[in-house]
């Protein structure tokens, strides 16, 4: 099969980790007789440096023409990089928000899994982590506070900033359906997270999720307030299967969930629309402080490539080959510095990519 993939190396460690993900994909292509066709596009700071804007129409058109997009990471150091002297709509992150919107990527899947081999890196007490955990955060990605009207005004000499949080029932319904669909393939439990004790948008969220739940009698649904969820994630993460939530809450909770795994460098993500198309990227950021030193962990990007094979191309056995290669390399004791522990072999970004490619 011919796979048409647009790559966004991006900023910071992005180019290094995407190179390794391509290395692993090429190994898959060779083993299973596929052809990977890559086209790189610029986004974020890399695009600002060349075009003056974080995302061009041409880049969006290239992405739309592809089967899937594989991304590294974008952004720089917010206190020192010149990109952050630009107007907010010209900064690197604006490119990411714009591509999510342009491609209608409303469903963001962020798995948070505690790997047995890395349980020592889990910051939770052993009596909590011993149960293990494996959850999927389903974050709404194109609505809410991120895309509502915003402005900063001055009234009677007082500066005032306004961000608006809106959701209509259709936006809620389509993400809820994705959440329940994925729960059906997992442990059949959905925890819908909101702030319905305060926000109207959350009360609508809860009502629509209840309606959708009627079509999934096998799935257990519970509602949880977001503040309680933040607490439960460190108290008893094993209780979660699918966490279904709106954009801003999902942003915050997915960072928390990834941190409790102790290995944010391992966590992939997929952003999907209503078709098979998807944008796949690691859950972590661009880590500008370690860029170019060949010490970044490419595994989250490699696992994002695996999600791409699974969700966009329906290539389950190829995706399994990548997931197993990751487990194998960990079992053999190879670690990048972020997940290093005593008795293991420390390797750099490139070496990790080579080891994974060999084991595919």
List the catalytic residues.
Answer: 146, 195, 227, 251, 255
* Residue whose C-beta lies closest to ligand IPM: 93
Q: How far is the CB of 84 from ligand IPM (least distance, A)?
A: 12
| Closer CB to ligand IPM, 194 or 251, in the complex | 251
Closer CB to ligand IPM, 146 or 313, in the complex: 146
Q: In the complex, what is the shortest distance from the CB of residue 179 to ligand IPM, in angstroms, rounded to a whole number?
A: 18
Token code pair at residue 25: 């994909």
Q: How far apart are CA 11 and CA 287, in angstroms?
A: 9
Residue 99 binding: pick among Mg ion, ligand IPM, none (C-beta 5-8 Å cut-off by kind): none
d(CA 243, CA 185): 14
- Using DSSP's 3-state secondary structure scheme, residue 315 falls into coil
Residue closer to Mg ion, measured from CB, 129 or 247: 247
The residue whose two tokens read 């809860």 is 206
What's the Cα-to-Cα distance from 111 to each of 24, 129, 255, 352, rounded to whole Å? 20, 17, 11, 21
Could you tell which of ligand IPM, Mg ion, none binds residue 318, using a CB distance below 5 to 8 A set by kind?
Answer: none
How far apart are CB 228 and ligand IPM at their closest, in Å?
A: 21
The CA distance from 280 to 302, in Å, is 10
Residues that bind Mg ion (CB under 5 A): 251
Q: Which residues contact 36 (CB under 8 A, 6 or more apart)?
A: 3, 5, 22, 25, 26, 29
Would you say 29 or 268 has its CB closer to Mg ion?
268
Contacts of 86 (CB under 8 A, 6+ apart): 48
CB contact at 8 A, 262 and 122: yes
Number of C-beta neighbours around residue 86 at 10 A: 16
| Of 101 and 346, CB closest to ligand IPM | 101
Taking the C-alpha atoms of residue 144 and residue 149, their distance in angstroms, rounded to an integer, is 10
Interacting partner of 93 out of Mg ion, ligand IPM, none (Cβ under 5 to 8 A depending on kind): ligand IPM
**What does 96 bind: ligand IPM, Mg ion, none (CB cut-off 5 to 8 Å by kind)?**
ligand IPM
Q: Least CB distance from residue 165 to ligand IPM, whole Å?
A: 15
Which residues contribute to the site for ligand IPM (CB under 6 A)? Answer: 75, 93, 96, 251
The span from the CA of 251 to the CA of 238, in Å, is: 20
Phi and psi at 189, nearest 5°, equal: -135, 130
| Strand blocks (E) in 95-143 | 107-113, 134-140
Shortest distance, position 146 Cβ to ligand IPM, whole Å: 7
Specify the residue, 171 or 251, whose C-beta has the smaller distance to Mg ion. 251
* CB 264, min distance to ligand IPM, A: 11
> Is residue 136 a contact partner of residue 243, using CB atoms and an 8 Å limit?
yes
Question: Left if phi > 0, otherwise alpha if psi is -120 to 50, otherwise beta: which for 121?
Answer: alpha
């Amino acid at each position: 099969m011919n796979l048409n993939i647009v790559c966004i190396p991006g900023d910071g460690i992005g180019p290094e980790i995407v190179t390794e993900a391509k290395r692993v994909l090429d190994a898959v292509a060779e083993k299973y007789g596929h052809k990977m066709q890559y086209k790189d596009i610029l986004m974020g700071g890399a695009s600002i440096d060349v075009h003056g804007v974080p995302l061009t129409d041409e880049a969006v058109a290239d992405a739309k023409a592809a089967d899937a997009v594989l991304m590294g990471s974008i952004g720089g150091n917010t206190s020192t990089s010149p990109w952050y002297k630009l107007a907010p709509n010209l900064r690197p992150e604006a490119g990411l928000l714009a591509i999510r919107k342009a491609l209608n990527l409303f469903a963001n899947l962020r798995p948070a899994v505690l790997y047995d081999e890395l349980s020592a890196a889990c910051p939770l007490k052993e009596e909590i982590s011993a149960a293990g955990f494996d959850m999927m955060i389903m974050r709404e990605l194109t609505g809410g506070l991120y895309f509502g009207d915003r402005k900063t005004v001055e009234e009677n000499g007082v500066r005032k900033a306004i961000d608006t949080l809106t959701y209509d029932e259709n936006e809620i319904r389509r993400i809820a359906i994705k959440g329940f669909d994925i729960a059906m393939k997992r442990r059949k439990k959905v925890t819908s997270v909101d702030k319905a004790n305060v926000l109207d948008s959350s009360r609508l969220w809860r009502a629509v999720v209840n309606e959708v739940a009627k079509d999934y009698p096998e799935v257990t649904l519970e509602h949880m307030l977001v503040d309680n969820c933040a607490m439960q994630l460190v108290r008893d993460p094993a209780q979660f299967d699918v966490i279904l939530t709106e954009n801003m809450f999902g942003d915050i909770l997915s960072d928390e969930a990834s941190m409790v795994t102790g290995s944010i460098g391992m966590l992939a993500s997929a952003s999907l629309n209503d078709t098979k198309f998807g944008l796949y990227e690691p859950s972590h950021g661009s880590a500008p402080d370690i860029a170019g030193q060949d010490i970044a962990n490419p595994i989250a990007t490699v696992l994002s490539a695996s999600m791409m094979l699974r969700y966009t191309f329906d290539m389950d056995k190829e995706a399994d080959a990548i997931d197993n290669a990751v487990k194998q390399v960990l079992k053999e004791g190879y670690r990048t510095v972020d997940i290093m522990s005593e008795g293991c072999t420390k390797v750099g970004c490139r070496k990790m990519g080579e080891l994974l490619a060999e084991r595919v």
